[in-house]
Chains A and B, each alone.
Chain A
């Protein structure tokens, strides 16, 4: 056994020196396009990050670091100067300059038929100018401290291909990046093949060729890893982790992610919330969920540790707020709610519901890790705590439409902070619904508190990072700690499975990046 492993490791080491290996990766969701600006979707962005680069980059913890920009600084509240890296070349050999950045910013809001554009990140930018070939000056409409975070989502394309349409990208004709890998082949629904860019200015890619195969069924993905058909998979299902840990052929890489699973309650409607009933199941006029004490009581009835250990098989961390404490703008005071069914009963009685009431928990069943099972477990706890709860599970195609039309009283959902800091969940989930400001777009419980709104608003216009962080933390303390606007359940842990001998620095943003896979030295 150990001799075999030794031989295998030696072979791997030998092979990397002689000629780089190929790498096959099993993806969990299909890549829908090669155009980096067409469809803002995690699997697409993940592939784009191999070929293209962003001005500002994020490390595995989503901390900002230089990308195509060497440095950036705010000259005043609304003007930013960005110094570009020199000696960067496109895959076609031409040099990278400020013109490319301007062409990119111009193309992004104008990609025809785009189902999810990156325009949300370019909209704050009023004007972009090239000071010289390697300096760009951006002016924002209002003070916008999150500009560097936003820039981290925008893949820079060459000015030459900016005029080309999405089909040209899908065929590979227009795919001309600066990143460590070059376009090889894209077969919709099947695979993406990338080849190493030997002229890359950074660390040389470890693999000559990387094949991404779309294996959406989790069990089949694990089987493909065990059968040796792929050497790496993403999104290892929780049910298989214990088994894989014991398997000598496999190693795992995991980290807590930027996604929180939370419960939203109808705190908007004064009466006749659609799925609030009395304990016998009859419709009820009053809406107990408007009372912060009731929301707090629900939170206290749920034993997060048990859900994490039994449903998530340890692959999650109980949550007390929107993001783990290591992220910018999080509260230092909020820990996961303690399981306290007795305290919950007293709170319910104090709120005028000593005998409880009935609920239906609506949940997606194909969106988050174990979503439907978590909901069943929540229903178990609430039912035992005197709030008989039904579970209604549905595919996300139905769930999100109905949720956004406010057809539910109590729902489970998740939020991944794309920009890697706390204003993202705050402004979308607990800020009052306001189309003009773009606040509360995913506030499906219509939680609303003027104090919280004001804090978020000021924070979003405060350029100073430390001050802004404190304000966001205070807003979180109020929205969750004091008012229980949402009930945080846990942070998902994302896990990658690799063939022994390969290693991956697990990322909080859940991206699977081949250029960060390393081959073991010994």
Chain B
């Protein structure tokens, strides 16, 4: 097990290296940061000064080399826009995104699995059909559209919740967190709901599909025939078997919630990483984008590793590749 985890982590380094190269090259192709950063009034001399100050006057490969050299000393470069270490800027924004992702996952898993179970166990009931039809709304309407609708209904029309922004923060384990107070939660509710909608529909549909699948298998029939309580059959036998694909998708979605809360954060003016990265992409703030990618890809690697480990915990028959050689 340890060997397996260690090997996965070594591979992670290679993955991170490839990622950095890809982003670096990709952004280089998009455009020249100087064009975006300088004040429009700037003359040619000022443009040249900016390029030199940010090291953009050197050949691309040399710039990448300087970046790699920095990485070995733990320096991911300074943001062009903020003039601060890129990693620092990202870590500063991370708690806001993580708490939003956390709330969104709580909503989508907490509602999704029960609703999906219900829809799967009573597939022909009216309730199940309503749930399934409703879930289509969840993933077919674009996030930005639903987001504005939420604001218009709950903030402008009804006035129940604040329209945008992040609430007051409190310190928790050395991190600024807003969702521990009621006031902070009020701010987080709409954006996390907006973010959860797609995941919620996906989890409902997936759970239902798995339940339908499994409930017809022999072991469930057998367990029922044995006269086991229905709740126990569902709770233990069924749940255990529908979890593997669910865990995969939940893992995937957790990653995507963290990394790509871009649209939701933009609409709700939520000061997280998603908002940061989209602004940085559009301003060609390369150090931020590269550092951000390294952080999120690393996060994905960790999540996927956790998911793979969970497989074997959930179903001992699944062997990790390690043993196969």
Residues of A within 8 A of B (CB): 30, 32-33, 38-41, 112-117, 119-120, 123, 166-167, 170, 187-191, 213-217, 219-220, 223-224, 226-229, 366, 395-398, 400-402, 404, 415-416, 418-419, 424, 428, 435, 438-439, 441-442
Taking a contact as CB atoms under 8 Å apart, the answer to whether B49 and A220 are in contact is no
- For residue B272, which residue of chain A has the nearest CB? A189
Does B163 sit within 8 A of A, measured CB to CB?
yes
Does B36 sit within 8 A of A, measured CB to CB?
yes
Taking a contact as CB atoms under 8 Å apart, the answer to whether A227 and B46 are in contact is no
Residues of chain A lying within 8 A (CB to CB) of residue B80: 113, 115
Does B37 sit within 8 A of A, measured CB to CB?
yes
Residues of chain B lying within 8 A (CB to CB) of residue A400: 31, 35-36
- State A29–B33 Cα separation when bound (angstroms): 18
Apart from A120-B45, A190-B271, A418-B41, what are 17 other A-B pairs with CB-CB below 8 Å? Answer: A38-B83, A39-B81, A112-B53, A112-B83, A123-B45, A188-B82, A213-B165, A223-B148, A223-B152, A227-B159, A228-B159, A400-B31, A415-B40, A418-B40, A419-B41, A438-B44, A441-B42
- For residue A415, which residue of chain B has the nearest CB? B40
Give, as a whole number of angstroms, the nearest-CB distance from B292 to chain A. 13
Taking a contact as CB atoms under 8 Å apart, the answer to whether A215 and B156 are in contact is no
Does B268 sit within 8 A of A, measured CB to CB?
yes
Does B128 sit within 8 A of A, measured CB to CB?
no
- State A167–B82 Cα separation when bound (angstroms): 9
Q: Which of A120, A189, A400: most chain B Cβ within 10 A?
A: A189
Residues of chain A lying within 8 A (CB to CB) of residue B268: 220
Give, as a whole number of angstroms, the nearest-CB distance from A276 to chain B. 23
28 CB contacts below 8 A, A to B, read A32-B82, A115-B54, A115-B83, A116-B37, A116-B46, A120-B45, A166-B84, A167-B84, A189-B279, A213-B165, A213-B269, A215-B164, A215-B269, A217-B267, A219-B148, A220-B151, A223-B148, A223-B155, A224-B163, A226-B156, A366-B282, A396-B282, A397-B31, A400-B36, A401-B32, A401-B35, A435-B44, A442-B40
Give, as a whole number of angstroms, the nearest-CB distance from A402 to chain B. 7
- State A214–B265 Cα separation when bound (angstroms): 12
Taking a contact as CB atoms under 8 Å apart, the answer to whether A223 and B151 are in contact is yes
Residues of B within 8 A of A (CB): 30-33, 35-47, 49-50, 53-54, 78, 80-84, 89, 92-93, 148, 151-152, 155-156, 159, 162-166, 266-269, 271, 275-276, 279, 281-284
Give, as a whole number of angstroms, the nearest-CB distance from A192 to chain B. 12
- State A90–B12 Cα separation when bound (angstroms): 53
Residues of chain B lying within 8 A (CB to CB) of residue A435: 44-45
Taking a contact as CB atoms under 8 Å apart, the answer to whether B53 and A114 are in contact is yes
- State A117–B37 Cα separation when bound (angstroms): 10
- State A173–B282 Cα separation when bound (angstroms): 30
Residues of chain B lying within 8 A (CB to CB) of residue A227: 151, 155-156, 159, 162-163
- State A114–B82 Cα separation when bound (angstroms): 9
Give, as a whole number of angstroms, the nearest-CB distance from B28 to chain A. 11
Give, as a whole number of angstroms, the nearest-CB distance from B46 to chain A. 5
Taking a contact as CB atoms under 8 Å apart, the answer to whether A40 and B53 are in contact is no
Give, as a whole number of angstroms, the nearest-CB distance from B222 to chain A. 55
Taking a contact as CB atoms under 8 Å apart, the answer to whether B269 and A217 are in contact is yes
- For residue B92, which residue of chain A has the nearest CB? A188
- For residue B148, which residue of chain A has the nearest CB? A219
Give, as a whole number of angstroms, the nearest-CB distance from A37 to chain B. 11
Give, as a whole number of angstroms, the nearest-CB distance from A262 to chain B. 13
Q: When the two chains form the complex, which single residue of A40, A113, A115, A398 contacts B30, counting CB atoms closer than 8 Å?
A: A398
Given contacts A115-B83, A438-B43, contact A189 B275 (CB under 8 A): yes
Taking a contact as CB atoms under 8 Å apart, the answer to whether B49 and A119 are in contact is yes
Q: When the two chains form the complex, which single residue of B47, B271, B281 contacts A397, counting CB atoms closer than 8 Å?
A: B281
Residues of chain A lying within 8 A (CB to CB) of residue B82: 32-33, 188
- State A32–B41 Cα separation when bound (angstroms): 19
- State A198–B166 Cα separation when bound (angstroms): 29
Given contacts A216-B266, A229-B164, A404-B35, contact A189 B271 (CB under 8 A): yes
Q: When the two chains form the complex, which single residue of A116, A220, A397, A401 contacts B282, counting CB atoms closer than 8 Å?
A: A397
Q: When the two chains form the complex, which single residue of A119, A229, A439 contacts B46, counting CB atoms closer than 8 Å?
A: A119
Taking a contact as CB atoms under 8 Å apart, the answer to whether A115 and B38 are in contact is yes
Taking a contact as CB atoms under 8 Å apart, the answer to whether A187 and B266 are in contact is no
Taking a contact as CB atoms under 8 Å apart, the answer to whether A397 and B41 are in contact is no
- State A397–B93 Cα separation when bound (angstroms): 23
Taking a contact as CB atoms under 8 Å apart, the answer to whether B165 and A190 are in contact is yes
Residues of chain B lying within 8 A (CB to CB) of residue A190: 165-166, 269, 271
Residues of chain B lying within 8 A (CB to CB) of residue A170: 84
Taking a contact as CB atoms under 8 Å apart, the answer to whether B163 and A220 are in contact is yes
- For residue A214, which residue of chain B has the nearest CB? B269
User: Nearest 9 CB-CB pairs, A to B?
Assistant: A438-B43, A401-B31, A190-B271, A435-B44, A115-B37, A400-B35, A215-B269, A40-B39, A189-B271
Taking a contact as CB atoms under 8 Å apart, the answer to whether A115 and B50 are in contact is yes
- State A167–B84 Cα separation when bound (angstroms): 7
- For residue B80, which residue of chain A has the nearest CB? A115
Taking a contact as CB atoms under 8 Å apart, the answer to whether A229 and B50 are in contact is no
Residues of chain A lying within 8 A (CB to CB) of residue B156: 223, 226-227
Taking a contact as CB atoms under 8 Å apart, the answer to whether A120 and B43 are in contact is yes
Taking a contact as CB atoms under 8 Å apart, the answer to whether A166 and B35 are in contact is no
Give, as a whole number of angstroms, the nearest-CB distance from B304 to chain A. 29
Q: When the two chains form the complex, which single residue of A39, A120, A395 contacts B42, counting CB atoms closer than 8 Å?
A: A120
Given contacts A215-B269, A397-B282, A435-B45, contact A113 B53 (CB under 8 A): yes
Residues of chain B lying within 8 A (CB to CB) of residue A213: 164-165, 269
Residues of chain A lying within 8 A (CB to CB) of residue B46: 116-117, 119-120
Given contacts A120-B41, A224-B163, contact A187 B271 (CB under 8 A): yes
Taking a contact as CB atoms under 8 Å apart, the answer to whether B93 and A189 are in contact is yes
- State A418–B42 Cα separation when bound (angstroms): 11
- State A104–B199 Cα separation when bound (angstroms): 53
- State A224–B47 Cα separation when bound (angstroms): 38
- State A7–B269 Cα separation when bound (angstroms): 32
Q: When the two chains form the complex, which single residue of B44, B78, B163, B284 contacts A113, counting CB atoms closer than 8 Å?
A: B78
- For residue A118, which residue of chain B has the nearest CB? B39
Taking a contact as CB atoms under 8 Å apart, the answer to whether A416 and B40 are in contact is yes
- State A188–B164 Cα separation when bound (angstroms): 16
Taking a contact as CB atoms under 8 Å apart, the answer to whether B36 and A397 are in contact is yes
Residues of chain A lying within 8 A (CB to CB) of residue B49: 117, 119
Taking a contact as CB atoms under 8 Å apart, the answer to whether B40 and A223 are in contact is no
- For residue A167, which residue of chain B has the nearest CB? B84
- State A400–B269 Cα separation when bound (angstroms): 26
Given contacts A120-B42, A223-B155, A441-B43, contact A229 B165 (CB under 8 A): yes
Given contacts A115-B80, A424-B41, contact A404 B164 (CB under 8 A): no
Residues of chain A lying within 8 A (CB to CB) of residue B44: 435, 438, 441
Taking a contact as CB atoms under 8 Å apart, the answer to whether B148 and A220 are in contact is yes
